[in-house]
Structure 1
Amino acid sequence: MKIYLQFLILILFVTVSHGQYSEVRGGINEIIAKVPAGSDYSILIIDAETMDTVYTRAHRLPLIPASNTKVVTSAAALHLLGGDYLLATELRYSGRVDNSGTLNGSIYLRAQGNPFFTSKDLENFVSRVKQQGIKVIDGDVVGDDTYFDEQYERSQYVGAGEGDYETYPLSALVVDKNTFLSGKKFTSPPVAIAQRFKQLLVNAGIVVRGEAVSGETPGNSTLIKSVEIKLSDLLKTVNKRSDNFLAEYTMKLISAAVNGERGSTKNGIKLCMAFLNDCGAYLKGTTLADGSGLSRRNYIPTGVIVSIYQYIYSNIVFRSQFYSTLSISGVDGTLRGRMQDANGENNLHGKTGTLRGVITLSGYFKTKKGRDLIGAVFFNFSAGYPDFYRGVQDQIFEYLINSL
């Protein structure tokens, strides 16, 4: 099936139905004519059902995609793991609790892929410890961060030269997306989180004889409580809010969950590239450097992005779940203020992208006559303002909605 689909998509990119769309292409060319000379752009619009090419301009030209990189990350995660895949942060203990309420062992905070764990959840864990009848912890309070590697800083997991776009420390064990670590010197996020938890335990009257440390949870530990979310809930925030921290977390999560290893950006990227190959994308020049699109070392043509949308569209299992992660024009997310006319509002389900000199847009939309289209319009520019290029994108999508 994958080989067959790949063949069809490759045929799509070399076959254009000239007669049917000649007038539409002329209209789009008039819109594009407004773009300042020297600007690079890549455009591809296809019919989702027939896979006919409606409009194409340099669809194989790799450009900086900005947050359209999140389309790759989120679609790969959904494809590889499924929307119902559970992500957890666990509270566990080793040893036994004696009749006096002393735990002859340690308490563990074990990360299993939940980046939504909060301070409130941490406080609830304290209550759970007390409910176990534990009054004294003879061992340590341990932050188990072994689900991911120890490359916490962006310069480590993406590479040097990425300092302009720092995110919060990227550990597997997370509290409040690690915002409390912002601006602080630290050597180990899991130790910092363990220290917070230890202090909460002490404040609640529980004696802790050991230290706050990092380490791995023993296989024979006892589960007290697990706070879980579905992958689909994570991906909604990644795409609708264009959350960079969560996108980078998702890239490492893919590696950890699929390979059963300590998750890493490097191996997550390998899995994403393999997914793009499964989509039948023409990958020459395509480069992934991170999961969020903050890096200017990402290069993706619109042809690759459209291949992803088409692959998901053809998969009944994932289509609705992926749709639900995307912003909706005039309604929510990063498209809330876009395409607010009668036919554009609540129509485009898509993803925006913005960096200095970069404006990108992609997504699914429906024409007035009921045709499902997939489109991607990327601009890399040095002249003009971002809102100008957003306006050109909106004009292209609105023109297609009203013309077909």
Structure 2
Amino acid sequence: MTSWISQSRKRITRWMGAGVVLFASFAAIVPGFARAQDAMPAELASTWKASGLPDSALSVVVQELGGPRLMAINADEPRNPASVMKLVTTWAALSELGPNYIWRTDFLIEPGDRYNTDGVLKGPLYLRAGGDPYLMMKDLWVLLRELRLRGVKMINDLVVDRSIFGDVSIDPGAFDGAGDRAYNASPDAFMVGFGALRLLFAPDPVAQKWIPVIDPPLPGLRLEGQVNWSTARCPGPPAVTTEPVLTQQGVTIRLGGTVAGSCGEFSLYRLALSQPELAEALFRLLWRELGGSFTGKVRAGKVPADAVVLASHESPPLTEAIRQINKQSNNVMARTVLLTLGAERGARPATPQTSEIVAKSVLASQGLSMPELILDNGSGLSRNGQVSAQSLASMLTAAWQSPLMPEFMSSLAIAGIDGTMRRRLRDDGTLGMAHLKTGSLRDVRAVAGYVQGASGKRYVVVSMVNDPKAAAVRAFNDALIGWLTSK
């Protein structure tokens, strides 16, 4: 058998001249048929070999759009794609909900419950949460200001209706123990500012110390400890430790670390409160700043069917949301978009499980069966998520052929220019030549998207590695993109 394989390989190479391409396809048909470097051009094979990674850890598909397949290695092997999974979530949502889909957040009152001349609401104020993933503190301020413009001064109770989603809250520390990091934020139907607080660090060069400030300054939150000052040259992103601790007075964030004064003012974003707690605290703070008074409680409930809308906020369209998700790899937004898809095209209240079923149905309607796909929470922040390079390449090809291609492609990070790719592939030959989504977890590195060659041809590329030393694949992935831009 070994001799037959060897002889066949020689014949294929001799007959085709460009045997690398045909052999790559043959290797994809017969699993385990060849070493990965045998299915690559020489310049890529040497870079892959230098990574020291096992061939079994790699899946690659390179496809010319409207042309031949250039490479396929372990194409059907299910892999954890890390944040590259966001491509699946955002494409399913964009193709089903449309680029102009918006989220609404409404304040409502019961029929006939008008405020009196003193601006006092007799009954409760209702908030109908729409699952807006892009609702920021400034948007909540504008929405509350609309109430003040309409003459409302005093609110008794605020009833928050989150029924668009089911019980979707998660423990932010469950994934990797870093429960204060913004990338671990829990989804919520009424999420403000991604659920994160801003810690501003202002330099005081005279006293040679850092002055930390919590933004917004919520009651019950305080800082403890300090960040030491260094006179060294700024080495890069500030290394500051933050540890939220629950106390009888509220939450204390303990600070530590050393930062060079030459780094200048900087901000960190951290989780300290649950989504409902933060939303309530912001509501109280902003309403008070606007001159309103609040005498009751914030509680969960349902909006009456005949309630009257008093003020509304409409989100930016879905196209802007997926641009934030894919360029900046925003996990909690991706989770929320998946839940929105489930709520709009499935059953309410939506859950990750019901929403995954809807997403798979949407993909299947496009001829994308993707049998190995485990979408999980839709963000890629998962040890269970999986998809094959072949399925991703097929989906990217289908997206390219869709009228929505410009909206989808523009959501990806541009090589050497923005998003998660802003510091990579900045050479003259690669700068701006690829729109890509990256993925990174412990034991996972992935990249997928579109590349334009020097000839003007376009290519779909997918590369995924699952291995304890997966970080070693970076040079190979950069070389792979560089190889395509030169074609």
| TM-score, normalised via structure 1 length | 0.85
Say whether the 8 Å CA contact 2:338–2:352 is kept in structure 1: yes
Q: CA separation in 2, counterparts of 1:204 and 1:355?
A: 43
- Structure 2 residue 270 is the aligned partner of structure 1 residue 257: no
Q: CA separation in 1, counterparts of 2:285 and 2:431?
A: 50
User: Out of 372, 375, 382, which is 2:458 matched to?
Assistant: 372
Q: CA separation in 2, counterparts of 1:106 and 1:130?
A: 16
Unaligned runs of 5+ in 2: 1-14, 22-39, 198-220, 222-242, 252-271
**Letter of the 1:61 counterpart:** E
Distance of aligned partners of 1:49 and 1:309 in 2 relative to their CA distance in 1, 3 Å threshold: same
- Structure 2 residue 476 is the aligned partner of structure 1 residue 392: yes
- Structure 2 residue 19 is the aligned partner of structure 1 residue 22: yes
Partner of 1:41: 58
- Structure 2 residue 135 is the aligned partner of structure 1 residue 117: yes
- Structure 2 residue 339 is the aligned partner of structure 1 residue 339: no
Say whether the 8 Å CA contact 1:281–1:303 is kept in structure 2: no
- Identify the range of structure 1 (144-153 vs 364-373) with the bigger mean alpha-carbon deviation: 144-153
Say whether the 8 Å CA contact 1:194–1:214 is kept in structure 2: no
Aligned positions, number: 377
Say whether the 8 Å CA contact 1:142–1:191 is kept in structure 2: no
Partner of 1:268: 355
Say whether the 8 Å CA contact 1:46–1:55 is kept in structure 2: yes
Cα-to-partner distance string for 1:77-114 (whole Å, 9 max, x where unaligned): 10110111011222223322234433222222222131
Partner of 2:103: 87
Q: CA separation in 2, counterparts of 1:187 and 1:394?
A: 39
- Identify the range of structure 1 (330-339 vs 122-131) with the bigger mean alpha-carbon deviation: 122-131
- Structure 2 residue 126 is the aligned partner of structure 1 residue 108: yes
Q: CA separation in 1, counterparts of 2:390 and 2:53?
A: 22
Point out the structure with max Rg over C-alpha: 2
Distance of aligned partners of 1:190 and 1:26 in 2 relative to their CA distance in 1, 3 Å threshold: closer
Q: CA separation in 1, counterparts of 2:389 and 2:423?
A: 23
* Aligned-residue identity in percent: 24
How far is 1:212 from its partner?
1.5
* 2:134 alignment partner, SS class: coil
Partner of 1:179: 196
Partner of 1:130: 148
- Identify the range of structure 1 (239-248 vs 20-29) with the bigger mean alpha-carbon deviation: 20-29
User: Out of 398, 401, 404, which is 2:485 matched to?
Assistant: 401
* 2:384 alignment partner, SS class: coil
Cα-to-partner distance string for 1:239-281 (whole Å, 9 max, x where unaligned): 0001111111111111112225122111121122223334444
Distance of aligned partners of 1:55 and 1:226 in 2 relative to their CA distance in 1, 3 Å threshold: same
Distance of aligned partners of 1:204 and 1:249 in 2 relative to their CA distance in 1, 3 Å threshold: same
Name whichever structure is richer in helix by fraction: 1
**Letter of the 1:162 counterpart:** F
How far is 1:360 from its partner?
0.5
Say whether the 8 Å CA contact 2:106–2:309 is kept in structure 1: no
Aligned positions of 1:1-400 closer than 5 A:
19=16, 21-23=18-20, 25-27=40-42, 28-38=44-54, 40-50=57-67, 52-94=68-110, 95-137=113-155, 139-154=156-171, 162-164=175-177, 167-180=184-197, 183=244, 189-190=275-276, 193-194=279-280, 196-202=282-288, 204-219=290-305, 220-259=307-346, 261-281=348-368, 283-316=370-403, 318-383=404-469, 386=471, 388-400=472-484
| TM-score, normalised via structure 2 length | 0.71
- Identify the range of structure 1 (32-41 vs 306-315) with the bigger mean alpha-carbon deviation: 32-41
- Identify the range of structure 1 (115-124 vs 393-402) with the bigger mean alpha-carbon deviation: 115-124
How far is 1:163 from its partner?
4.9
Distance of aligned partners of 1:233 and 1:21 in 2 relative to their CA distance in 1, 3 Å threshold: farther
Q: CA separation in 2, counterparts of 1:284 and 1:348?
A: 28
Q: CA separation in 1, counterparts of 2:459 and 2:176?
A: 38
Q: CA separation in 1, counterparts of 2:353 and 2:320?
A: 24
- Identify the range of structure 1 (85-94 vs 347-356) with the bigger mean alpha-carbon deviation: 85-94
How far is 1:195 from its partner?
5.0
Name whichever structure is richer in strand by fraction: 2
Q: CA separation in 2, counterparts of 1:366 and 1:20?
A: 25
